[in-house]
């Protein structure tokens, strides 16, 4: 499990602000994964990113959970769009 850094902004872990967008998106997803795993037993993994669309794979307790769509769109997509407004969609793949 990834360690959470107290007081850190998601995606802030040693990733320069001028790093490539894909690297910054991946860092934020890793941070979200740590929170989701710690608090809910779920997982989120970056599968693909084309600059506008993010594809992730949900795992752990998210598999079969009736609230996984809320996790995907409310938590993951909402957070990604907050930090990276150029992202248009976030999709879950199996």
d(CA 39, CA 35): 6
Give 13's pLDDT tier (boundaries 50, 70, 90): low
Instruction: Please count the structural domains in the chain.
Output: 1
Give 17's pLDDT tier (boundaries 50, 70, 90): confident
What is residue 7's predicted lDDT score, i.e. its pLDDT? 46
pLDDT tens for residues 19-54? 999 999 999 999 999 999 999 999 999 999 999 999
Residue 12 in any domain: the answer is: no
Residue 7 in any domain: the answer is: no
What is residue 84's predicted lDDT score, i.e. its pLDDT? 96
d(CA 73, CA 40): 16
Residue 14 in any domain: the answer is: no
What is residue 3's predicted lDDT score, i.e. its pLDDT? 43
62 burial via Cβ count (<10 Å: 0-12, 13-18, 19+): buried
Residue 39 in any domain: the answer is: yes
Residue 26 in any domain: the answer is: yes
Residue 46: CB atoms within 10 Å:
18
Q: Mention every residue, 6+ apart, whose C-beta is less than 8 A from residue 91.
A: 53, 54, 55, 56
- Residue 28 is part of a domain; what is its CATH number? 3.30.300.130
pTM of the predicted model, to two decimals?
0.82
Residue 11 in any domain: the answer is: no
Which range marks the domain in which residue 47 is found?
Answer: 21-92
The 8-class DSSP code of residue 60 comes to E
């Amino acid at each position: 499990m990834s360690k959470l850094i107290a007081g850190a902004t998601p995606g802030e872990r040693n990733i320069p602000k001028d790093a490539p967008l894909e690297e910054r998106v991946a860092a934020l997803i890793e941070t979200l994964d740590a929170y989701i795993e710690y608090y809910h037993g779920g997982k989120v993994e970056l599968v693909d990113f084309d600059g506008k669309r993010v594809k992730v794979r949900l795992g752990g307790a998210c598999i079969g959970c009736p609230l996984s769509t809320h996790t995907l769109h409310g938590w993951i997509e909402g957070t990604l769009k907050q930090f990276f407004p150029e992202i248009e969609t976030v999709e879950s793949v199996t």
